[in-house]
Structure 1
């Protein structure tokens, strides 16, 4: 059986490809030359399976999408209390590069530039040199991605030459006693952090690492403690999309972070990590096609955070081998709620079965199914039967159309 999820992702990407509004960022020379027609989308599931569509392997600079991961490293290295002394967690309601400080002088959150520069200075031991902190950031974000990342030196130098505003913000926070170390070092390090090269597939894996409590689903490495991910995802949910964060959480419902190179990342706890890339930006600085893709994925796959689905990894109750009861039929027994992430596990189990065996798909223990869950399971049954396989469905509650 051919898994229907890649086809679904291709269709969604095609439907979003006509969102041609917005402009490529012109204020940074290295970003201004980006091809505005590039568009890639990727999903990473809880066991590390990555689905991609379009320009999902095109490399671009991570930019502000680095902010939640730098925040995660600072929390892991210095502890929650220390980080909260320097950077708050409240939405700013301001643009990403505004002066947004509390009365105490603390930046309002780590997802805006003034908070991100401050956060960068909190990564690692306070005595680290600029080079040592850069190495810690590179190693940490590479661990989230599951591969060794590299810096786009040309992009770094281009952005460094345009860093006057971030330097002003850094000196302001330093004057308030909230910035560790020298402002120039913090801005240089933050700018290098933003120049790391990723693609949409990397973003999906990085997002799933956050969504899986800090364990990279591809490498198995526990990158940061689970409590760190809880903190980071909470701040992403309220602050990750700048002054559009409330609208985003209401309509899309996935903790997310955008970047001015056109990247967009979303992490849905326990279910899926999503990465998208398209350089055209709206007036807020978010990828036009990326936002459209997330809206479609959330609506069609039932991914809104407030749906509160069950854990997807427990979907398989058991598999009865053909010789176990002597009837020559393999029985795949499912359980729980059939939402997208759960059905994805089931689909890959079905796709891995030998093609010449009759099977029984047992839904006796399935409590409910979302629209996309029913659709994908129905599609799987139809595809297996189209391949001349004998498929019977045990479905006492009539969850599927197939029989």
Structure 2
């Protein structure tokens, strides 16, 4: 039995029959479209695993659109595969750019920005209202930190300038795309959205938390009022002591919150593709410098102090509570967005940045497939050919000591989870399928679709729940996953059926064990 399970696990994790899995990761492979296509194919999840973003009006995610863009920061060259021209809303991927703009408006001093918004990791969800013990948002990646950042932008934008215009111009420079635009209908939908069972949206609750915390002091509010209304109007609504009247101050605080929130929604609704975001990642990794892919000239977009500060903040908190795991396990630091985008640095490769897009999200709100592509890329020995050798058709490692790089063979990374699911389900007997379907309500209380994968017996713990054998195993984030198999059918014993994260029923089952 153990041998059978080990065989299935090896098949699921390994490569083609004639390729050793360990050999795949020892060799060097040239970065090209074939390699990226193989990465996408090998990590395609079963249909129905994960789900697109919910609750943002105007988004139109498609689970079958996938794209990877990989950039060499020394040359600016981008290699892309999939639906790389498909545009999606950047959502929270806008937050690092907003942070960079806020720091620039505050004199280019990251430490000044840091007095208002922290750079601490947080284990809390992205929309949690908790502030750090010192009263600051933990970081700029969580929504309350991003809204605070937009308040700072509204306050420090010079009179006569529009805060959002400054953001959009910075985005156009970072992406090298002067045609970037905002999906205004999406922005308005998010700005006006309110759940039917609540008095206000979650983001408006976060703004109220910031206001109650005293985030905006009287001097900052006066600066905002001067830009918004002009000196004469502010003077007319000031007290003899020089402060704003209480009624005028209250209206300014409300206006500041509304302006910050609207700008935040519009920034989230900027439509980008993976090549746009690879360009952004390249600037942050290169210390604020952008390389012209045509002639190799270098142009400074941001001061290095700002670019490095933003990149470090992304590394610490850009994937929310998964940030530490992504940095430790995948050597990846970057920012995610709930419309399926990810961009950032592959730290196991000295000059590579990546941007990915796939709409299905994991429970934290990050693109699960995108994370797996990034993990695979960081495991492979990737070689980028120099321009001269590439022109000669000689894809050779940049370090002379490295062996000649080859092309990653098709299916070298083994069957994908989607392919394994299709294969194992096709072999499943009707009796097993009925038994598994009937077993789902016993555990969950509702019927659910399932998908099939090979077991990892190294992590699993076998228990029984109502005559159904259940394997409980922790995933890479420490959460328990549910794995099912049926004891009465040996055919099913060679498979494991997986559904979503642990529910209360399974938690109780663990406690009884």
The alpha-carbon deviation at position 131 of structure 1 amounts to 6.9
Query: What does residue 331 of structure 1 align with?
Result: none
Whole-angstrom distance in 2 between the partners of 1:289 and 1:217: 29
Query: What does residue 187 of structure 1 align with?
Result: 261
Whole-angstrom distance in 1 between the partners of 2:96 and 2:304: 14
Query: What does residue 119 of structure 2 align with?
Result: 89
Query: What does residue 155 of structure 1 align with?
Result: 186
Query: What does residue 249 of structure 1 align with?
Result: 327
Q: Indicate yes or no: 2:390 matched with 1:351.
A: yes
The alpha-carbon deviation at position 6 of structure 1 amounts to 1.9
Query: What does residue 172 of structure 1 align with?
Result: 209
Match of residue 14, structure 1, among 41, 56, 73: 41
Give a deviation string over 1:272-309, Cα, whole Å, max 9, x none. 221100110010000121111111111114xxxxxxxx
**175-184 or 67-76, which deviates more:** 175-184
What is the SS of the residue equivalent to 2:115? helix
Question: What are structure 1's unaligned runs of at least 5 residues?
Answer: 302-339, 381-403
Query: What does residue 406 of structure 2 align with?
Result: 379
What is the SS of the residue equivalent to 1:42? strand
- When the two structures are superposed, what TM-score results if normalisation uses the length of structure 2? 0.59
Whole-angstrom distance in 1 between the partners of 2:389 and 2:46: 35
The alpha-carbon deviation at position 42 of structure 1 amounts to 0.6
Query: What does residue 100 of structure 1 align with?
Result: 130
Query: What does residue 358 of structure 2 align with?
Result: 278
Whole-angstrom distance in 1 between the partners of 2:72 and 2:275: 11
Give a deviation string over 1:209-235, Cα, whole Å, max 9, x none. 111111122474311111112211211
The alpha-carbon deviation at position 55 of structure 1 amounts to 0.8
Query: What does residue 123 of structure 1 align with?
Result: 153
What is the SS of the residue equivalent to 1:35? coil
Q: CA RMSD in A?
A: 2.7
Whole-angstrom distance in 2 between the partners of 1:366 and 1:80: 40
The alpha-carbon deviation at position 81 of structure 1 amounts to 2.5
Whole-angstrom distance in 1 between the partners of 2:327 and 2:258: 35
Match of residue 217, structure 1, among 271, 291, 294: 291
Alignment check: 8 A CA contact 2:98 2:149 kept: yes
Q: Do the aligned partners of residues 127 and 344 (structure 1) sit closer, same or farther apart at CA in structure 2, a change above 3 Å counting?
A: closer
Alignment check: 8 A CA contact 1:146 1:218 kept: no
Q: Do the aligned partners of residues 4 and 167 (structure 1) sit closer, same or farther apart at CA in structure 2, a change above 3 Å counting?
A: closer
Question: What are structure 2's unaligned runs of at least 5 residues?
Answer: 1-29, 195-200, 225-255, 408-513
Query: What does residue 432 of structure 2 align with?
Result: none
Q: Do the aligned partners of residues 58 and 85 (structure 1) sit closer, same or farther apart at CA in structure 2, a change above 3 Å counting?
A: same
Query: What does residue 196 of structure 1 align with?
Result: 270
Q: Indicate yes or no: 2:88 matched with 1:49.
A: no
What is the SS of the residue equivalent to 1:138? helix
The alpha-carbon deviation at position 26 of structure 1 amounts to 2.1
Alignment check: 8 A CA contact 1:63 1:194 kept: yes
The alpha-carbon deviation at position 362 of structure 1 amounts to 11
Q: Do the aligned partners of residues 28 and 127 (structure 1) sit closer, same or farther apart at CA in structure 2, a change above 3 Å counting?
A: closer
Equivalenced residue count is: 326
Match of residue 341, structure 2, among 260, 263, 273: 263
Query: What does residue 207 of structure 1 align with?
Result: 281
Give a deviation string over 1:102-121, Cα, whole Å, max 9, x none. 23321110010000111122
Q: Do the aligned partners of residues 53 and 19 (structure 1) sit closer, same or farther apart at CA in structure 2, a change above 3 Å counting?
A: farther
Q: Do the aligned partners of residues 157 and 130 (structure 1) sit closer, same or farther apart at CA in structure 2, a change above 3 Å counting?
A: farther
Whole-angstrom distance in 2 between the partners of 1:86 and 1:53: 40
Q: Structure 2 matches for 1:4-83, cutoff 5 A? A: 5-18=32-45, 20=47, 21-31=49-59, 33-46=60-73, 47-78=75-106, 79-83=109-113
Whole-angstrom distance in 1 between the partners of 2:390 and 2:267: 40
Alignment check: 8 A CA contact 2:105 2:157 kept: no
Alignment check: 8 A CA contact 2:384 2:397 kept: no
Whole-angstrom distance in 2 between the partners of 1:239 and 1:362: 33
Query: What does residue 162 of structure 2 align with?
Result: 132
The alpha-carbon deviation at position 255 of structure 1 amounts to 0.9
The alpha-carbon deviation at position 124 of structure 1 amounts to 7.3
Whole-angstrom distance in 1 between the partners of 2:98 and 2:306: 11
